[in-house]
Amino acid sequence: MSELFSWWQYEFMRVALGAVVLLVPLLALLGTLVVNNRMSFFSDALGHSALTGVAIGVVAGVSDYRWVMLVFAVVFALLMNRIRRSRLASTDTVIGVFSSVGVALGLTLLSRNGNLANYQSLLVGDVLSITRGELWLLAVALMGTVAVWLVCFNGFHAVSVSPSIARSKGIPVGLMDNLFVVLVAVVVMLAIRWVGLLLINAMLILPAAASRNVARSMRSFHVLAVVFGLFAGVLGLTLSYYNGVATGPTIILVLAAVFFGTFLLRKR
């Protein structure tokens, strides 16, 4: 057993474990509503928009492009949500267009003068690169998300079940919808540096999807999503260390195994 956790002696692995413990529950909580609202492609498009946010920051000469990326993601999410609610086009079409534009524009701007290779780390992320100072940022984000969750969950859930019924109960549907997409945008942008834009959507969706296979109540749905996420995060971090492979993709593979396992339990 001591050999199994021999990685604990390394500072960067202990910090990475802290990041997993903070980051995975954060994404799992949001993922439950993303799954309920059938918005998995929406969060995927948000991840892709990170490229454009980074590119705008680079072109503008901003030293810390993360803030530009964050602001752009919030504006991108609100605009996409506004068009999605207008019913002028089908939801999947709107999200597909925004996702394509976000990727294409970002790649075009970042590829100027052959600089695209400098930003390839954004594709898969690197949770092992996180610092202790950045752990505090994740802790604040987690506490903020939980606070919003506790205050607004009933409104979020009512809107996800039936916007018309929620409106008849006096719930501000538009405000709840916009608040939720802004929350998703902020968390996705905070996490994308360590998870990667290719994997961020899987990290959001898989814990909630696995939980939905076996949960028998709304409470167990959320609890199991967090439990599955934490299990996959710790196991994936351990497996990646001993096999010398990337941490993010390993966590996703463990989550996928959990999903298929719970799917088989549901079928039984």
DSSP notation for 80-139: HHHHHHHTSS-HHHHHHHHHHHHHHHHHHHHTGGG-GGGGTHHHH--GGG--HHHHHHHH
Q: Following DSSP, what letter does each residue of 199-240 receive, concatenated?
A: THHHHHHHHHHHHHHH--SHHHHHHHHHHHHHHHHHHHHHHH
Mean pLDDT of the chain: 80
Task: Split the chain (268 residues) into runs of 10 and give each run's mean pLDDT.
Answer: 67 84 84 79 76 78 76 83 70 76 80 68 73 81 81 80 79 82 82 76 87 86 90 88 85 92 80
Q: Quick one: pLDDT at residue 2? A: 55
d(CA 84, CA 26): 25
Q: Following DSSP, what letter does each residue of 168-188 receive, concatenated?
A: HTT--HHHHHHHHHHHHHHHH
* CB neighbourhood size of 25 (10 A): 20
Find out if CATH 1.10.3470.10 is the number for domain 6-113+123-263.
Answer: yes
Q: What is the pTM of this model?
A: 0.82
Domain coordinates of the chain in residue numbers? 6-113+123-263
Q: Quick one: pLDDT at residue 5? A: 66
d(CA 244, CA 226): 26
pLDDT digit string, tens, across residues 103-162: 788 778 777 766 666 666 676 677 777 778 778 877 887 788 888 878 887 887 787 777
Q: Quick one: pLDDT at residue 182? A: 84
Q: Quick one: pLDDT at residue 258? A: 93
Q: Quick one: pLDDT at residue 267? A: 62
Q: Quick one: pLDDT at residue 259? A: 92
Tokens coding 164: 């018309």
Q: Quick one: pLDDT at residue 157? A: 78
Task: Count CA within 13 A, CB hemisphere, residue 89.
Answer: 12
Q: Quick one: pLDDT at residue 171? A: 82
Q: Quick one: pLDDT at residue 247? A: 83
Q: Quick one: pLDDT at residue 87? A: 66
Q: Quick one: pLDDT at residue 113? A: 62
d(CA 161, CA 228): 24
